[in-house]
A and B are shown apart, each in its own frame.
Chain A
């Protein structure tokens, strides 16, 4: 299994909603990443988890809250988002510092 899965594929939410994005991999990777990608721009790193511990937080606003319940699962909890947070959210995983495998992304629209 060389796949990173993400759910949901699409999400529309209001600014007062609370929602969560989910990412899963079963490749035994111990590093997992969240990226944000705006249209026609390269991905921007948000968070890195290494061995289920948060190792990098790229100054992301607290309305984004990551969680790594176990080595296969990565969540991104969303609360009180702004319309400018609308983007494609990509999850990736890697075995330590090797090739990153990306998921298909969740396209988020904040109304």
Chain B
């Protein structure tokens, strides 16, 4: 069983829809990251969370430490949001750089 599970694996939405991507983990963590990767390469770090909720523009990330679960929400989705969204966790007490990645959720937003 993977230590970081994301759902869904693939998601297709119409422009304007509210989108939720989920991440569950089975280990003790010190932080959770949400990353965005567009086709062709580079990764952008969206959020780093250790508790509660963070908001940036149309993106909202929440984490429930007790339930070992995080969600990434996109409000008023747009075709430019189409990308792979990756959840990654840093183990509690883990050494520097030791991120464990989920397999990613591929989001396609249709106009």
Contacts and interface: CB of A to CB of B under 8 A. Distances in A.
B23 interface: no
A43 B99 CA distance: 10
A56 interface: yes
A31 B96 CA distance: 8
Nearest to B94: A97
Chain B interface helix/strand/loop/mixed: strand
Interface string A77-90: 00000000000101
B33 A99 contact: yes
Interface stretch (A13-21, A66-74, A100-108): A100-108
A33 B104 CA distance: 20
Contacts of B104: 42
B43 interface: yes
Given A94-B97, A101-B45, 18 more contacts: A33-B97, A41-B103, A42-B103, A43-B101, A45-B97, A45-B98, A50-B96, A55-B95, A55-B96, A56-B97, A90-B42, A92-B43, A97-B31, A99-B33, A100-B33, A102-B35, A102-B44, A105-B43
30 contacts: A33-B97, A42-B86, A42-B88, A42-B103, A43-B43, A45-B98, A45-B99, A48-B95, A48-B96, A55-B95, A56-B95, A56-B97, A88-B41, A90-B42, A92-B43, A94-B96, A94-B97, A96-B96, A97-B30, A97-B90, A99-B33, A100-B33, A100-B97, A100-B99, A101-B45, A102-B42, A102-B45, A104-B41, A104-B42, A105-B41
